[in-house]
A and B are shown apart, each in its own frame.
Chain A
Amino acid sequence: ETGVTQTPRHLVMGMTNKKSLKCEQHLGHNAMYWYKQSAKKPLELMFVYSLEERVENNSVPSRFSPECPNSSHLFLHLHTLQPEDSALYLCASSQGLNPSYEQYFGPGTRLTVT
Chain B
Amino acid sequence: EDKVVQSPLSLVVHEGDTVTLNCSYEVTNFRSLLWYKQEKKAPTFLFMLTSSGIEKKSGRLSSILDKKELFSILNITATQTGDSAVYLCAVALTQGGSEKLVFGKGTKLTVNP
Residues of A within 8 A of B (CB): 2, 9-10, 33, 35, 37, 40-45, 48, 56, 88, 90, 97, 99-100, 102-105, 107-108, 110
Contacts and interface: CB of A to CB of B under 8 A. Distances in A.
B42 A100 contact: no
Interface residues of B, number: 24
A88 B32 CA distance: 15
Contacts of B102: 107
30 contacts: A2-B103, A9-B96, A9-B98, A10-B96, A10-B98, A35-B42, A40-B48, A42-B45, A43-B36, A43-B42, A43-B43, A48-B41, A88-B101, A97-B41, A99-B38, A99-B39, A99-B40, A99-B41, A99-B86, A102-B86, A102-B105, A103-B38, A103-B43, A105-B101, A107-B101, A107-B102, A108-B99, A108-B100, A108-B101, A110-B99
